[in-house]
Structure 1
């Protein structure tokens, strides 16, 4: 479980392509302070499992960690488009004794959107992102959504897009500060909305049946 509060921007070091997966290596610092093999770290909102850690290799280089990313994740998220040198949002799984500063985030990507426009103002920037139609019912004005692992408040929820307002802190500390129109971003809707939708759909059906109109299987890599 995560909160959607990005801890640092990591840098993609390498992607080793395999037949049905890849090994993703990222340079980082903060998220590796107390990491152990098998721990979870969200990369642009996608929960990945730490499979390996190493020192930077050269003097002054940042430590690195590696995760195995299966084909399903590469196909259903924007991680498949990463190349060495790309910056990525990183967040460690939240501990039970920590403040929940954002909202409940699973690290299970529900779909991929595209940045449609950026409208700057004096103190913030409004960003519009396309929305897969099947996710529209889970968004409401002033509700929560995760974009590339960043917990944000929806300003306007439409049928095929939504807008968010980004403050200077978010622009400076996350990938959303430099995403441009046409860039793809990972989206995770509020898990509470998904449960409510499921319960209401089940309540409307005869006893013993389940709704067939459900979300696509979310992505979550496991060791």
Structure 2
């Protein structure tokens, strides 16, 4: 479980393409502190398992299912990535509940800078629209953000200078893909209400 509070902006140092998967080597001095085989680290919002760890780098295998459902397949050596370790029990929940299970991908549509923040418009897949509401939470490339405006096929977020400086959203441009994870609570509520409606209809 994660919070969507990015700990550091890491870097992909190598990509090994396998038959139906990829193995990434990533550099992250903060998230590799105390890391060991089997630990989880979120990479651009995708929960990955540490295979090997040496110095400030770790490797992680990404299967075809994850490559197809996320933007990780577009990463190459030199790509910058958002990194976060799992939340520790008893710590403050700074963002919101994030599973590291990407629901789909969006695309940066527009950026509107101002003096103290920047508005970023992102496309929204049709099957995720019902989970995104104004002032609700959404995870973009592993970053816990608040929705400013929720349109029929897009949403906007407002980014403060810290987010622009310390995450991938500081340099992504229109046309670039981003990983999206909607609020898991909304999905559970939808399922429970659906089951209740089906039960009442019987």
Is TM > 0.5 for Structure 1 vs Structure 2?
yes
Name the structure 1 match of 2:169. 176
Aligned to 1:219: none
1:23-38 → structure 2 map (5 Å cutoff): 23-38=23-38
Per-residue deviation, residues 159-196 of structure 1 (Å, max 9, x unmatched): 21000000000000000000100000000000001101
Count of matched residue positions in the alignment of Structure 1 and Structure 2: 202
| Matched residue, 1:74 | 67
Structure 1 pair 208/38, CA: closer, same or farther in 2 (3 Å)? Answer: farther
* Pair 40,208 (structure 1): closer, same or farther in 2 beyond 3 Å: farther
2:93 alignment counterpart: 100
Of 116, 121, 130, 2:109 maps to 116
Distance 2:163 2:136 in 1: 18
1:47 aligns with 2:40: no
Deviations 1:53-77 (A, max 9, x none): 113xxxxxxx210001101111110
* Structure 1 CA distance for aligned equivalents of residues 33 and 199 of structure 2: 52
Partners of 2:193 and 2:152 lie apart in 1 by 20
Two-structure CA RMSD over aligned residues (Å): 1.2
Q: Please show how residues 73-222 of structure 1 align to structure 2 within 5 Å.
A: 73-206=66-199
Q: Distance in 2 between matches of 1:208 and 1:49?
A: 43
What's the TM-score once normalised by structure 1's chain length?
0.89
The match for 2:4 is 4
Change (3 A) 1:208 1:47: farther
**Distance in 2, Cα, partners of 1:38 & 1:208:** 46
Tell me, what secondary structure is at the counterpart of 1:165? strand
Measured at CA, do residues 208 and 27 of structure 1 come closer, stay the same or move farther in structure 2, by a change above 3 Å?
farther
TM-score by length of 2: 0.98
Pairwise CA distance, 1:206? 3.4
**Which runs of no fewer than 5 residues in structure 2 stay unpaired?**
none
Q: Deviations over 1:135-161 (max 9, x none)?
A: 000011000000000000000111210
Gaps of 5+ in 1: 56-62, 210-223
In 2, distance between residues paired with 1:201 and 1:137? Answer: 14
* In 1, Cα distance between equivalents of 2:125 and 2:47: 21
Over residues 26-58 of structure 1, what are the superposed CA-to-partner deviations in whole Å (9 max), with x where a residue is unaligned? Answer: 011000112121110000000000010113xxx
Q: What SS class does the counterpart of residue 205 from structure 1 fall into? A: helix
